[in-house]
Structure 1
């Protein structure tokens, strides 16, 4: 993929660390910065997708009550450990 120039201001300490890491990796600082930005953007995209999916699920109005979750967590490590609770809160039928 072709690249284009892009400049940004960074703290001197970050530039020094980037340069040092680039030397260790036998890469250019711009290559490492590009990789870091790419990974950052991929993580942000994945997080946004996860949030969108969670909101979509929440909009359905089906949840597990606090009491059921607390009982389940309280049972962890005991002889009578409970299974993962099932949803027990449902939207009103319309």
Structure 2
């Protein structure tokens, strides 16, 4: 049984045109786009959780260290990029 989704007529027209220009079906274009979006959102969620866990574990760079680094840009004594204390 096929799945359906409702989209505006304007979006459907754009989809038809885009799919046709690549000699593809609208279904294949939508399927590929949806898979790419879901993969990106899964990765974003994993990375967000990892970042929260890192911060909770104290794996952070202080505001002062980042500010000092930025302030040193374009000077004769540019500082290296600050790393986390546990790196």
Shorter-chain TM-score: what band? Answer: 0.7 to 0.9
* TM-score, structure 1 normalization: 0.81
* TM-score, structure 2 normalization: 0.87
* 1:92 counterpart residue number: none
Which of these residues, 3, 6, 16, is aligned with residue 3 of structure 2? Answer: 6
How much is the aligned-residue C-alpha RMSD, in angstroms? 1.4
Shift of 1:78: 2.1
Q: How many residues align?
A: 85
Tell me, in whole angstroms, the C-alpha distance in 2 between the residues paired with 1:49 and 1:86: 22
Structure 1 regions of 5+ residues with no counterpart? 89-94
Structure 2 regions of 5+ residues with no counterpart? none
Q: Is 1:66 the counterpart of 2:63 in the alignment?
A: yes
